[in-house]
Amino acid sequence: MFALIGSVLGTLVGVLPGIGPTSGIAILLPITAFLPPTPAIIMLAAIYYGAMYGGSTTAILVNIPGEVASVVTTLDGYQMAREGRAGPALAIAAISSFVAGTLGLVGLTFFAPTLADVALGVGPPEYFGLVVLSFSVVVNLSGPSLVKGFSAAALGGLIALVGLDPMSGTRRFAYGTSTLLGGIDFIAVIIGLFAITEVLLGVEERTRAVSLAPLGKLMPRADEIRRCLATMLRASGVGFALGLLPGCTPGAISFISYDLEKRLSKTPERFGKGAIEGVAAPEGANNATTSAGFVPLFALGIPATPALAVVLSGLMIYGLQPGPLLFEKQPQFVWAVIASMYIGNVMLLVLNLPLVGLWARLCRIPYAIMAPLILMFSVLGAYSVRNSFADVGMALVFGVVGYVMVKLGYPTAPLVLALILTPMLESGLRQSLSMAGGSPLILVTRPVAATLIAAGLALTAWTLYSRRRRSLA
Amino acid sequence: MMRVALAVLLALGLVTTEASAQPAYPTRPIEIIVGYAPGGGADVAARLVAGYASKKWGQPVNVVNMPGASGITGALRALNARPDGYTLLLDPHATSSMLFAVESDVPFKMEGKTHIALVTLDPAIYTVKADSPWKSLQDVAAAAKKDPKAFRYGIAGVSGIAAFSVSQFLFGAGVPIAETNKVVFTGGAPALTALAGGHVDFAGQQWSESAGLIAGGKIRALAVVNPTRLPGLENVPTVKEAGFPDLDVVGWQGLAGPPNLPAPIVQKWNALLSEATKDKEFIDQAAKVSKVVAYMGPEPYWKFQQDELKKYLPLAQKMGIRK
């Protein structure tokens, strides 16, 4: 029951762009004060994974990622919507979310305390290795021009550096303003780059609607589902394994999963042009990550995302101290919450599939009506993250930046990826160095870290090589 | 007869107008601004206060998170609000004494706030990994002195509680601090996760940040910076019992408002908070979220902040982090 209410609220939160899971849970935290602990936490958890589901809807329909993790979904999802295939895109997002979310829960059910211990072994050098591996994705996201892709990534890295230096507290690129001192908010950047840029382009091209193509079938074809099945399984694996690591951001994980599918695909050229696997992969990874995030939360009391930090404070308000003892002392609570998550996932699927038809029709609404609505929600979304007007201005600025980038043929995805990864790269590297008294040897003497770095470099080299060969051929 | 009635009515009218000259507060929802993300120590304290106040006054008290620039963004917003008591600031050590000890050009003044009351303390706890060979603070001091180059400690932020608590300990123990390895993390959770995973050897985060991993047996507490032992950690000595009576770094959370907040509003909050801090249920709830209830009225609270500043200023200079 409470899982149902939570799922519905969560979907709503996810669909409303900008009101991400964190603010959603924080806004709804007080209402749990009237409930006993178990239903309250069931509801907070449902809001969290419901929001992860819902985030894909706007990403596909209007190119606004509802939360960080659905940035990748826009790449192929929005293209599908423009081709009039919004229905299958939304349906596969829901199905993939369901499959991966449920598989992730199986992992949570059986291995939580063990996995949590493994995750503890991952330290700063390993995180650095992971980032090096993730950066190899940039090559694949670059589109026709490597230089343009790399420039976009470099710009993303620079944007991420604005604000207080996390290691020494030095001010960087703040130009004496306290607005920039707080850093450039990620959500504001992606709302600008994706939603506002899209509106600008739409207005210029005198678009009459997101898609005028006939709606066609709402559900994916049987062969599409079959093709996505392996994708979903891989996405679940990647999402769950990386989701266990509290220092790994969900945004990065969906990029990695997307890249993996593109590499494994026999027809990688379809990616970015409306490949259905390109929707299934990030959405699946995203929801497996969500399930995995509860492992360190319950077993160690460590929140992997800001949204889970709010759930954690919810737990603490009820005096439920997370940790290995939670499983021993409060088994009825833990298992009730986990059981409710299975039910919640089923309900989300049941809830979302019938809505597909309704959502898909939104694509056909005249753009003259849609564009102001998209702008309004973008502004609201950018404001709501930190209750700050400066972020609205930032979103508008990045809307223009995105417009210029698209016009000049620069891809925006590498910028976003670098924006996500740079803080992790910086802290991973600098923490590793200070752990070892300044010696970079720590990165090669720890086997896991060394393997990850080597794999990242090898992948980059290999992709560069095969690109070159293809362009020569 | 009529005149008398009129006079009575007038008198009554006068009486009522006089009573309403003292405006009722609160008559609409109150906002408490928190300069940090939901789930942190300041946020939890704000929600504790907000919950109690809205229950007692029957008006919603909303917590508004405005994270950014180490809490300065939110503080500026609250301090520039109209002083009507409907926009207040959850003012922790990090936007008060500790901030002013580190920064010389904060965009607001420490005395430029209406100080309402101190509400809770969040003491520092010195911790090691659960299976660490070090059983006491003395063991840590001896090991760090013997081989400072191999000593690794994790702190959240260069000028947060842990930076001060660990530095104070190392200075006091005579450890050559420049030779040790300081690993800076972005928050208490990542710092302690690294401690539990054995990537660093020593930490000094706040109680609220450490409680979960201590209860879970992943990290072990060596001493708490509090005059008495803490509920749930009865077997952990205080720093005085551990032989380090000079260690005194504690986190705290108070309530402040924009300058020139009317005295009746300050009094109303003080009445409420002093009552709350004697309320058994409130104290229990605070302990559940790892907070020690510690009420102080406006004047003692202001004096407390000045004392805190005097304590941290020389320490910040010695640590080389004052800007």
Per-residue CA distances from B100 to B77, B119, B123, B214, B321 (Å): 18, 20, 20, 32, 12
Nearest to A434 among B183, B212, B321 (CB): B183
* Structure tokens that stand for A74 in this block: 């826009």
Task: Find which of B131, B180, B199 to mutate to test the A interface (most A CBs within 10 Å of its CB).
Answer: B199
B19 to chain A, minimum CA–CA distance in Å?
Answer: 34
Residue A167 has pLDDT above 60, yes or no: yes
| Structural contact between residues A19 and A381, judged by C-beta atoms closer than 8 angstroms | yes
Cβ under 8 Å to A: B residues 255-284: none
Task: Find which of B47, B102, B151 to mutate to test the A interface (most A CBs within 10 Å of its CB).
Answer: B47
| Structural contact between residues A274 and A85, judged by C-beta atoms closer than 8 angstroms | yes
Task: Find which of A295, A326, A434 to mutate to test the B interface (most B CBs within 10 Å of its CB).
Answer: A434
Give the pLDDT of residue A387: 74
Burial letters A126-135, b for 16+ CB under 10 A, else e: bbbbbbbbbb
Burial letters A143-179, b for 16+ CB under 10 A, else e: eeebebbebbbebbbbbbebbbebbebebeebeeebb
pTM of the model as a whole: 0.80
B69 in contact with chain A, both atoms CB, cutoff 8 A: yes
B187 in contact with chain A, both atoms CB, cutoff 8 A: no
Tell me which chain A residue has its CA closest to the CA of residue B129.
A120
A386/B290 touch (CB, cutoff 8 Å), yes or no: no
Residue A78 has pLDDT above 70, yes or no: yes
Nearest to B39 among A309, A319, A324 (CB): A309
Q: What is the ipTM of this complex?
A: 0.77
Q: How many residue pairs from chains A and B have C-beta atoms closer than 8 A?
A: 162
Mean pLDDT value of segment A97-110: 88
Query: Residue B198: exposed, middle, or buried by beta-carbon count in 10 A (0-12, 13-18, 19+)?
Result: middle
A13 to chain B, minimum CA–CA distance in Å?
Answer: 17
Mean pLDDT value of segment A137-146: 79
One DSSP character per residue, A220-271 reads PPHHHHHHHHHHHHHHHHHHHHHHT-TTS-HHHHHHHHHHHHHHH-S-GGGT
β-strand pairing of B30-34 with B61-65: parallel
Mean pLDDT value of segment A381-389: 76
Closest CA to B218 of B132, B124, B126, B125: B132
A388/B68 touch (CB, cutoff 8 Å), yes or no: yes
Helix ranges (DSSP H) in B147-295: 161-173, 188-196, 207-215, 263-276, 280-288
B43 in contact with chain A, both atoms CB, cutoff 8 A: yes
Residue A433 has pLDDT above 60, yes or no: yes
Report residue A209's pLDDT band, with 50, 70 and 90 as the boundaries.
Answer: low
Per-residue pLDDT of chain B (323 residues; tens, 9 = 90+): 455 555 554 444 444 444 444 568 888 889 999 988 766 778 889 988 998 998 899 888 888 878 777 788 889 889 988 999 999 999 999 999 999 999 888 888 999 999 999 999 999 999 999 999 999 999 999 999 999 999 999 998 888 899 999 999 999 999 999 899 999 887 888 888 899 989 999 999 999 888 888 888 889 999 999 999 999 899 999 999 999 999 999 999 999 999 999 999 999 999 999 999 899 989 988 888 889 999 999 999 999 999 999 999 999 998 888 87
| Structural contact between residues A128 and A428, judged by C-beta atoms closer than 8 angstroms | yes
Helix (H) or strand (E) holding B202: strand B202-203
> How far apart are the two ends of chain B, measured CA to CA in Å?
78
A444 to chain B, minimum CA–CA distance in Å?
Answer: 15
Chain A residue numbers touching B148 (CB-CB < 8 A): none
* Structure tokens that stand for A128 in this block: 């650095």
B157 in contact with chain A, both atoms CB, cutoff 8 A: yes
Task: Let me know the angle formed at the C-alpha of A250 by A247 and A253, rounded to the nearest 5 degrees.
Answer: 95
β-strand pairing of B152-156 with B181-185: parallel
Nearest to A168 among B64, B69, B158 (CB): B158
Give the pLDDT of residue A216: 66
A165 to chain B, minimum CA–CA distance in Å?
Answer: 10
Tell me how far apart the alpha carbons of residues B178 and A414 are, in angstroms, rounded to a whole number: 39
Position with higher pLDDT, B6 vs A378: A378
Chain A residue numbers touching B321 (CB-CB < 8 A): 169
A317/B47 touch (CB, cutoff 8 Å), yes or no: yes
Mean pLDDT value of segment A304-317: 77
Domains of chain B: 30-122+250-319 (3.40.190.150), 125-224 (3.40.190.10)
A127 to chain B, minimum CA–CA distance in Å?
Answer: 12
Tell me which chain B residue has its CA closest to the CA of residue A31.
B51
B184/A166 touch (CB, cutoff 8 Å), yes or no: yes
B176 in contact with chain A, both atoms CB, cutoff 8 A: no
Give every CB contact of residue A195 below 8 A, 6+ residues apart in sequence. A17, A62, A63, A64, A374, A375, A377, A378, A399
Tell me how far apart the alpha carbons of residues A124 and A133 are, in angstroms, rounded to a whole number: 14
B196 in contact with chain A, both atoms CB, cutoff 8 A: yes
CA B188 to chain centre: 14
Q: Which amino acid is at A308?
A: L
Give the pLDDT of residue B21: 45
* Structure tokens that stand for A193 in this block: 């780059």
Mean pLDDT value of segment A47-59: 80
Give the pLDDT of residue A212: 63
Tell me how far apart the alpha carbons of residues A44 and A341 are, in angstroms, rounded to a whole number: 11
> Phi-psi region for residue A190, left (φ > 0), alpha (ψ -120 to 50) or beta?
alpha
Nearest to A324 among B159, B181, B216 (CB): B216
Three-class SS of B100-121: HHHCCCCCCCCCCCEEEEEEEE
Give the pLDDT of residue B15: 43
Task: Find which of B73, B233, B290 to mutate to test the A interface (most A CBs within 10 Å of its CB).
Answer: B73
Mean per-residue pLDDT over chain A, rounded: 81
Give the pLDDT of residue B220: 95
- List, for residues A318-366, the tens digit of each pLDDT value: 777 777 677 777 888 888 888 888 888 888 888 878 878 777 777 777 8
Tell me which chain B residue has its CA closest to the CA of residue A437.
B181
Task: Find which of A167, A244, A383 to mutate to test the B interface (most B CBs within 10 Å of its CB).
Answer: A167
